[in-house]
Amino acid sequence: MHIKILGTGCANCKRLEAHTREAVARLGLNARIEKVEDLPDIMAYGIMSTPGLVVDEEVKLTGRVPSVRELERLLQPA
Amino acid sequence: MWEALADALVYGLLGLDPASHGSQALHFFLYETLKIGFLLLLVTHLMGVVNAYFPVERVRRLIASGRLRGAEHLVASGFGAVTPFCSCSSIPLFIGFLQGGIPLGVTFSFLITSPLVNEVALALFLGLFGWKVTLVYAASGILLGTVLGWLLGRLKLERYVEAWVWQIAAQRVEAAAGPRPALRSQGAAISREAFGIMKKIGPYVLAGIGIGAFIHGYVPTGFFEAYISEHNPLAVPLSVLLAVPMYASASGVIPIVQALVAKGIPLGTAMAFMMGVVGLSLPEAMMLKKVMRVRLLGVFFGTVALSIILLGYTFNIIF
């Protein structure tokens, strides 16, 4: 699993990263978490509000920081 | 209701003398804090609900659809008002709008109103100045965004937007918003967001109300008039200039300004100052510098500043 956190480094982006790391740890997933801070790269995903969460190149969330519980549900392997 | 509660706390529970300056200031502080706290919670929740139903992606589709027949500037400006503003989101929004094929001028309409009319400013205005002034403020903010966006759109400023922005905009990526969460979990998220805003601005608001309470209790009426009167023609532009570096503490500035108005500063000058504080945001300018040439940034902020000054003069004449 390849997770990308899209954001220019604002407080919300850092919170999303922390929540994501915690959710991944709780689920015991084998995931690579990458931060994307370069604007052109972020915008190429077609998002209109940061932060954004991308899982395996699919945009899962934009513009808000979900709770760790919600992230766990979102990242759970089907 | 809040008046009675503050009465009960200060004069009843603490048994303070209603005639002394100190207890009057404390009463004012408690009363304002209770009232503004309640309004902040109410307005942030309300805006959260509006945004859950009208996320920016949907707004963009509506504006780009061409069904608005000339009302694009007004609609963009209006949505700018109800969308919570964060300087870190201004670039994704800017590029996202251009990506959707929305003209630069319409994008500016959104961008001008978004910080100017925001949920925190509205709640503070409602609590401190009453609904009439709040309405005038919101309406003039939306009008400003509409007219200036239209004007900037006619100036053909597209070449002053950085080239990489147009490259991305040309890709016309489909908006990706991810699956919408269930309404129940959204409700919780809206509430969490609202309390998050409260926590962030709380200290500023309390400090502002505290300073305001001190002015109310101890500064004699008419004290400031000697410096900032209606007859000083430079008062409006000077207060707008003074407002620019105050962005970070916007939520603390508004309660102080209310106290100043109560002590005789003309409302128009105060309005222009507050519009300058929230509308001419330095952090936003720093962000937008990544996508706009300095010249465009100058035109953008220059016209907004000029219009706020004009509005200030107009308000001073009307009120």
Q: Is the pLDDT of residue B247 over 80?
A: no
- A60/B178 touch (CB, cutoff 8 Å), yes or no: yes
Judging by DSSP bridges, how do beta strands A2-6 and A32-36 pair with one another? parallel
B92 at A interface, C-beta within 8 A: yes
* pLDDT higher than 60, residue B72: yes
- From CA B272, how far away is CA B244, in angstroms rounded? 11
Predicted confidence (pLDDT) at residue B188 exceeds the cutoff of 60: yes
The alpha carbon of residue B242 is apart from the nearest alpha carbon of chain A, in Å, by: 26
Cβ burial B92-105 (10 Å sphere, 16+ → b, else e): bbbbbbbbbebbbb
What does the pLDDT look like over B133-171, one tens digit per residue?
899 999 999 999 999 999 999 988 888 988 888 888 777
In the structure encoding, which two tokens stand for residue B284, read together?
Answer: 């936003």
Q: Which helix (H) or strand (E) holds B4?
A: helix B2-7
Residue type for position B212:
G
Q: Residue B178: its pLDDT value, please?
A: 52
Identify all chain A residues contacting B193, using CB atoms and an 8 Å cutoff. 64
Q: What is the mean pLDDT of residues B245-273?
A: 83
pTM, entire model: 0.84
Mean pLDDT (chain A) is 86
Residue A13 is among the residues annotated as catalytic for this protein:
yes
Q: Name the percent of chain A lying above pLDDT 90.
A: 19
> φ and ψ at A55, to 5 degrees?
-115, 120
How far does Cα A57 stand from its chain's mean position?
A: 11
Q: Could you give the C-alpha distances from B112 to B189, B218, B280, B298, in angstroms and in order?
A: 27, 38, 9, 13
CB of A57 within 8 Å of a chain B CB? The answer is no
Angle between helices B104-116 and B119-154 (to 10 degrees): 160
Q: Give the closest of B95, B189, B192 to A43, CB-based.
A: B95
Q: Which amino acid is at A33?
A: I
- Testing the interface with B: which of A15, A39, A48 to mutate, by most B Cβ within 10 A? A48
Q: How much is the average pLDDT of B9-21?
A: 77
Chain A residues closer than 8 Å to B167 by CB: 40
Exposed/middle/buried for B27, CB within 10 Å: 0-12, 13-18, 19+?
Answer: buried
Of B99, B175, B189, nearest to A66 by CB-CB distance is B189
Q: Is A10 tagged catalytic?
A: yes
More confident residue, B148 or B13: B148
Within an 8 Å CB–CB cutoff, is residue B91 touching chain A?
Answer: yes
Lookup: tokens for B11: 């004069």
User: Smallest CA–CA separation between A9 and chain B, in Å?
Assistant: 8
Q: Which residues contact B315 (CB under 8 A, 6 or more apart)?
A: B136, B267, B268, B271, B272
> Could you check whether the bond before residue B220 is cis, i.e. omega within 30 degrees of 0?
no
Please list every residue in chain B whose beta carbon sits closer than 8 Å to the beta carbon of residue A42.
92
* Separation between Cα atoms, residue B287 and residue A42, nearest integer Å: 15
Q: How confident is the model at residue A4 (pLDDT cuts 50, 70, 90)?
A: very high
Per-residue confidence band for B262, with pLDDT thresholds at 50, 70 and 90: confident
